[in-house]
A = this chain, B = another copy of it.
Amino acid sequence: MSDAGPAHGTDNGPLAVICGGGALPFAVADAVGKRGRRVVLFAIRGWADPQRVAAYPHHWASFGQFGWFCRVAQREGCRDVVLIGSVVRPAIWKIRPDFKTLRLLPRIVGLLRGGDNRLLKGVAAIFEEHGFRLIGAHQIAPDILMPEGPLGRERPTAGDQADIATALALLDATSPFDVGQAVVVADTRVLAIEAAEGTDRMLARIAELRRGGRIAPGSGKGVLVKAAKRGQDQRVDLPSIGPHTIEAAAGAGLAGIAVVAGSTIIAEAEATAAAADRERLFVIGVRDHTATR
């Protein structure tokens, strides 16, 4: 957040928000809009929610239309760009590249090999080389970051705290491998580690393992812990939670959720707190004790 400030303010023209799925892009757009800066959505077809997109100035975009994006964003006067919302990396032959994208394709193919972090860093570099400034949602809308401490009414027990510490240490160990921002630990036992499947599927797996008796019912409820990868480019990929994370964690029978304060986006904080109270789950922002992350 040290580089937030006047340069990200209204004097820098409208903000281009490249908008994937979920509620996050609109939370960012609203937070920025409230400060009086114009926002233009570039909504990704198949991912962004058309009903919600309609409420903002917007253009519909597809993967592979980078030349088109450069022209339209320049015409709108946008220099600053935020990339936010969920997308799944597309198969390379599903991309219909325009001329500029076509020239970048060998480089993009190279980026599609390897982990998300590598891919996103490469995409960020491409934007910057074309005169845009890529800005993190956390820089431009710091009010959407999870603060330290509990969010709703519930609190972690001493046992939950121990599970959180184990989980953070494990995430730190896997971090160099550009994998998994999330694990579930119950009663000192690691139940699941996220890789390509994403947090929602990992939580669905816990629910299934419980139903199948593979996790004995007496073995503790467990905590979902999410943390940004070490060396992750926070401008393009921060862990996030929202009401649906609460529902998924409740479905998995967990006691609560812990995230790293200041580097986790919380979409719809009030709705998330309300869901946590309803499901009797704790949600807590913890300090990151690993200075290296």
Which residues of A approach B to under 8 Å, CB–CB? 88-93, 112-115, 166, 169-170, 173-174, 176-180, 183-184, 187-198, 201, 205, 209, 213-220
Contacts and interface: CB of A to CB of B under 8 A. Distances in A.
A269 to B, nearest CB: 28
B195 A193 contact: yes
Contacts of A115: 188-190
A219 B112 contact: yes
Given A113-B189, A217-B91, A197 B209 contact: yes
Given A113-B220, A170-B174, A197-B209, 12 more contacts: A91-B213, A91-B217, A92-B216, A174-B174, A178-B190, A180-B193, A183-B195, A189-B196, A190-B196, A193-B195, A196-B214, A197-B205
Contacts of A191: 195-196
Contact of A113 (B188, B194, B197): B188
Contact of A196 (B178, B201, B215, B218): B215
A185 to B, nearest CB: 9
Contacts of A201: 205
Given A92-B216, A213-B88, A216-B91, A114 B187 contact: yes
Nearest to A177: B170
A218 B93 contact: yes
Nearest to A114: B188
A174 B193 contact: yes
24 contacts: A88-B213, A88-B214, A89-B216, A91-B213, A93-B218, A113-B187, A113-B219, A115-B188, A115-B190, A170-B174, A170-B177, A170-B179, A179-B190, A179-B193, A180-B193, A184-B195, A190-B195, A191-B196, A192-B195, A192-B197, A193-B193, A196-B214, A197-B214, A198-B214
A91 B209 CA distance: 13
A215 B169 CA distance: 27
A183 B93 CA distance: 28
Contacts of A174: 170, 173-174, 193
Contact of A112 (B173, B178, B205, B216): B216
A97 to B, nearest CB: 15
Which of A187, A195, A215 has most B Cβ within 10 Å? A195
Nearest to A216: B91
